[in-house]
Structure 1
Amino acid sequence: MLTLKFIRENKDEIINRLKIKRFDAAEVVEKVIELDDLRRSTQGEVDQKQAEMNTLSKEIGMLFKQGKAQEANEAKAKTADLKEQIKELNNQLNEATSSLDIEVVKLPNIPHPSVPEGNSDEDNVVIKEGGVIKEVEGEKAPHWDLIEKYDIIDFKLGTKITGAGFPVYKGKGARLQRALINFFLDEGEKAGYNEVLPPILVNEDSGFGTGQLPDKEGMMYHATADNLYLIPTAEVPVTNIYRDEVVKEEELPLKNMAYTPCFRREAGSWGAHVRGLNRLHQFDKVEIVQISHPDKSYEALDSMVAHVESLVNKLGLPYRILRLCGGDISFTSALTFDFEVYSAAQERWLEVSSVSNFENYQANRLKCRFKGKDMKKPELVHTLNGSALALPRILAAILENNQTAEGIKIPEVLVPYCGFDIIK
């Protein structure tokens, strides 16, 4: 969330810049400042009356020692009255603080100046294209037909066991999935990321820290008995490693990655664009996360984009990189680049990664700060994350782009992980 200091000092800038995200911030900003003023003034009254009570408490003992019982009892009566006033003021303070907390999280993150105008994904800007869109031999089959033909993923069985959107990977399909996971993790390690294996259930504080709660709870699976949430991405547990922490400046950047299954309740719409592996309720993903010095977070973002680009290049997939417009960028992000790979049979682009800089927006919710030797007090870090990569659409593109009359050829970099070079 935006810091109160930033909101108070940059009211007009916030209102103007959030228009790019199609968010009218004027009313919320005014309410936040009003509630913060009330909180500050109420806290001032509490402090003043507490000081008066402390002074009277000291005087009471002195008065009793001097034999001035009547005056001492009058002072005691005043302290009792002050206690009641302080109690009432603290109730008002708590109410103002709670209302302020509710209002301030309504404000999205401020978009970076490079975020283009636009209303939807149709207005995103393609900044780079790579790879070659090759002609597929013979008739092009979509991946859902290839999956059935080669018996490598079973959607009907997944529906039987759980429900729609929970596929069962089988045989070479399971091995190819595992190969992709290990390949992505090994490449991440080469790029300096430390692997962690976090829980896939998180508490409310973790969901709030990265911005999934309170506004995305409808997209998350909720274990109500324990009030825990299944993660929509490893971003949530990995970033929360540093919640309520003050890290040393010399330790930055902190680079972590994690493979996890991910769970999303979103049903989407009907049609080929959500068919097969195009949209699932459970899917596998390798996530990269950086905790960065504020002065170097955009260098970190560039390095993360370059890392994801290297992965799709090594897989031999045609791709493009998009800078998301204001109408498509997430609530919490300052700047996001999406990666899309080309689906030969579907003849369209499939999103496989989002790489984002949240600046200090998540860090303020997480209370994640850093401190250097020459710093008087800790400052908020910047947080970044990206998919490196999400597997379902990568797998779909590999199947569709590498289909031949003999079978599906496996990208060369995956052969050592798979133990086979073709699915027949």
Structure 2
Amino acid sequence: MHDIRFIRENPAAFDAGLARRGMAPQSAEILPLDERSRAIKTELQQGQARRNELSKAIGQAMAAKDVAKAEALKAEVASLKERMPALENEDRALDDQLQALLAALPNIPAADVPGGQDEADNVEIARWGTPRDFGFAPQDHADFGPALGLDFEGAAALSGARFAALRGPMARLHRALAQYMLDRQTGENGYEEVNPPLLVRDEALFGTGQLPKFAEDLFRTTDGRWLIPTAEVSLTNLVREQIVPVDHLPLRLTALTPCFRSEAGSAGRDTRGFIRQHQFEKVELVAICAPDESAAEHERMCAAAEGILQALELPYRKMLLCTGDMGFSAAKTYDLEVWLPSQQTYREISSVSNCGDFQARRMNARYRPEGEKQTRFLHTLNGSGLAVGRTLVAVLENYQQEDGSVIVPAVLAPYMGGITKLNPNGG
């Protein structure tokens, strides 16, 4: 959500920020509504003050037995009573209209975010690792994975397309990855583990920016709740409508949860394999901090995600997203893209975003700086540390052998119960 005072005082800068997102100017529509809304609120306040004055004056006139004056004052009160409900209705309607306009607008990009239209304009910041020289043609995980326990057909019979069942050592490897990520983020990187709700109300998804604009990307239950598309929703909203004590900041939270996405806008993309699923697991990272901490917190969170890839010895690159490729709530985003040998390219495995105070305004999440009376809005950040399914794909493809087996990365040995290799058909 945007600060209406900033728009009021800096309309050209606001429109310029939206222009970087490829959007038309909005201040010319917003400001007249804001001006009318403020005028009505002033009139309502003045009307209420006048009613209070008239009530006293009527009492004084009655005490003085000045019936004519009392009746004249009562007539003015009646006129106010008739006028004020209409003003209150208009005030509510204008507030709703203004909030709907502001809620539909994306965050303003940070100054150091490069301009661009899509992923082709993203900027590579760094690379880590060297893609392996296989000595044979590496296969797609969708081709050799079924022999190792990646069951697409069984899941499709149960649930349809974009679902998978993991069986035997494949399920164990997936669990090992998730547990390793969670243990590292809590034990080494200082994130507090949370086991959050998977079903949330409208206001939680509004707070993090998925509603109202992206409802088609979500799954809704018959009682009006929503399945979370990411634990970002649950974790970030833990400070909703709160004033967080400054000595509690920064809050660093993590959760391993199932995530549910309709993939409404991804028709024809990644229809094979385990990359784009309706249901998947992810270790999410969320940070909630004071504004002057958020830039450093962004780099710290990205490093926490990179550490998993480095420990697994998976080649990746770090990308700074351009204005046209960032998410709705983000002011600045790094993507981590892991190397997939079968595609001979890097694919996104983590997106780490600094949202500034954009989500906090939608959630009314604040803190009170030390020595100050007024509260300020917090800054929120989120990122994957990592998406478990995509990490499994990267491990399968990068550790595959010519005979169709897959070597288990050494760092996962404590989680695998002695299994060091996945062999075709359980061999």
**One-letter code aligned to 1:229:** W
CA deviations on 1:114-135 (whole Å, 9 max, x unpaired) are 1112111111111100012112
User: How far apart, CA to CA, are the structure 1 residues paired with 2:272 and 2:339?
Assistant: 16
User: How far apart, CA to CA, are the structure 1 residues paired with 2:314 and 2:381?
Assistant: 25
Give the alignment partner of residue 331 of structure 2, picking from 331, 334, 339: 334
Give the alignment partner of residue 283 of structure 2, picking from 272, 282, 286: 286
**Aligned 8 A contact 1:137 1:404 in 2:** no
Asked if residue 357 in structure 1 is aligned to residue 354 in structure 2, the reply is: yes
Give the alignment partner of residue 408 of structure 2, picking from 400, 410, 414: 410
- Residue 127 of structure 1 aligns to a residue in which SS? strand
CA deviations on 1:146-182 (whole Å, 9 max, x unpaired) are 21122x1211111111111121111111111111111
User: How far apart, CA to CA, are the structure 1 residues paired with 2:56 and 2:106?
Assistant: 49
CA drift of 1:77 comes to: 2.4
CA deviations on 1:319-359 (whole Å, 9 max, x unpaired) are 00000011111121100000010011222211100000000
CA drift of 1:136 comes to: 2.2
CA drift of 1:18 comes to: 2.2
**Aligned 8 A contact 1:198 1:238 in 2:** yes
User: How far apart, CA to CA, are the structure 1 residues paired with 2:267 and 2:217?
Assistant: 14
Give the alignment partner of residue 51 of structure 1, picking from 49, 52, 58: 49
User: How far apart, CA to CA, are the structure 1 residues paired with 2:2 and 2:90?
Assistant: 24
Number of aligned positions between the proteins: 419
**One-letter code aligned to 2:85:** K
User: How far apart, CA to CA, are the structure 1 residues paired with 2:276 and 2:422?
Assistant: 23
User: How far apart, CA to CA, are the structure 2 residues paired with 1:315 and 1:270?
Assistant: 30
Asked if residue 16 in structure 1 is aligned to residue 13 in structure 2, the reply is: no
Asked if residue 423 in structure 1 is aligned to residue 422 in structure 2, the reply is: yes
What is the percent sequence identity of the aligned residues?
Answer: 39
Match of 1:36?
A: 34
User: How far apart, CA to CA, are the structure 1 residues paired with 2:224 and 2:68?
Assistant: 56
- Residue 102 of structure 1 aligns to a residue in which SS? helix
**Aligned 8 A contact 2:146 2:152 in 1:** no
Give the alignment partner of residue 124 of structure 1, picking from 117, 122, 125: 122
Asked if residue 313 in structure 1 is aligned to residue 293 in structure 2, the reply is: no
CA drift of 1:280 comes to: 0.8
Give the alignment partner of residue 300 of structure 2, picking from 289, 303, 314: 303
The root-mean-square deviation of aligned C-alpha atoms, in Å, is 1.3
**Aligned 8 A contact 1:136 1:402 in 2:** no
- Residue 91 of structure 2 aligns to a residue in which SS? helix
Asked if residue 184 in structure 1 is aligned to residue 181 in structure 2, the reply is: yes
Comparing 40-49 with 4-13, which one deviates more in the overlay? 4-13
CA drift of 1:372 comes to: 2.5
CA deviations on 1:21-71 (whole Å, 9 max, x unpaired) are 1112x1x21111111100100000111111111111112222222323343
CA deviations on 1:356-380 (whole Å, 9 max, x unpaired) are 0000111110100100331121000
**Aligned 8 A contact 2:360 2:378 in 1:** yes
User: How far apart, CA to CA, are the structure 2 residues paired with 1:372 and 1:404?
Assistant: 56
Asked if residue 376 in structure 1 is aligned to residue 373 in structure 2, the reply is: yes
User: How far apart, CA to CA, are the structure 1 residues paired with 2:137 and 2:285?
Assistant: 37
CA drift of 1:306 comes to: 0.9
- Residue 19 of structure 1 aligns to a residue in which SS? helix
**One-letter code aligned to 2:165:** V
CA drift of 1:274 comes to: 3.8
**Aligned 8 A contact 1:208 1:214 in 2:** yes
**One-letter code aligned to 2:306:** E
User: How far apart, CA to CA, are the structure 1 residues paired with 2:376 and 2:38?
Assistant: 22
**Aligned 8 A contact 2:369 2:376 in 1:** no
- Map residues 9-408 of structure 1 onto 2, 5 A cutoff: 9-24=9-24, 26=25, 28-150=26-148, 152-189=149-186, 190-223=188-221, 225-267=222-264, 268-270=266-268, 273-405=270-402, 407-408=405-406
Normalising to structure 2: TM-score of the pair?
A: 0.95
Q: Structure 1 residues 274, 114: CA separation in 2 closer, same or farther (over 3 Å shift)? A: farther
User: How far apart, CA to CA, are the structure 2 residues paired with 1:184 and 1:137?
Assistant: 31
User: How far apart, CA to CA, are the structure 1 residues paired with 2:91 and 2:123?
Assistant: 46
User: How far apart, CA to CA, are the structure 1 residues paired with 2:146 and 2:86?
Assistant: 68
CA drift of 1:137 comes to: 4.7
- Residue 35 of structure 2 aligns to a residue in which SS? helix
| Unaligned stretches of 5+ residues in structure 2 | none
Asked if residue 3 in structure 1 is aligned to residue 42 in structure 2, the reply is: no
| Unaligned stretches of 5+ residues in structure 1 | none
CA deviations on 1:248-288 (whole Å, 9 max, x unpaired) are 112110110111111111152336x4420121111100100
User: How far apart, CA to CA, are the structure 2 residues paired with 1:140 and 1:104?
Assistant: 49
Comparing 318-327 with 156-165, which one deviates more in the overlay? 156-165
User: How far apart, CA to CA, are the structure 2 residues paired with 1:373 and 1:147?
Assistant: 55
CA drift of 1:233 comes to: 0.6
Comparing 35-44 with 95-104, which one deviates more in the overlay? 95-104
